[in-house]
Amino acid sequence: MTIGLRDELQWFAQEMEAKLRLNDHKSGALDMTYARLLTRLRQEIVELTTAIEAMKGVNSDYRRVVLEASDVANFSAFIAQKAHRDRDVTR
């Protein structure tokens, strides 16, 4: 079943894809263990927290928050995709 995406989700999915393309040169995340993926997710959450805490005043770097949120979402997606792939392998 295919469903359309809400506008805000479509925008964010494009942000996630843009961030993934910036990192295409890195090794495949789906080959990482769940433990490693969770470690990377936690690291990205720290980076997102830092970016949010740095938003003060007129010179706030809102773009950095979007980029870090995209990293968090991408690692969450990698975990979900790995689970989905592992489920298919065990059937």
At residue 65, what is the residue type?
A: V
Distance of CA 67 to the CA centre of its chain: 9
pTM of the model: 0.87
Per-residue pLDDT band for 35 (boundaries 50, 70, 90) equals: very high
pLDDT of 42: 98
Residue 33 has pLDDT above 60, yes or no: yes
Confidence category of residue 89, pLDDT binned at 50, 70, 90 = low
With beta carbons less than 8 A apart as the criterion, state whether 41 and 75 touch: yes
Q: For residue 47, is pLDDT > 70?
A: yes
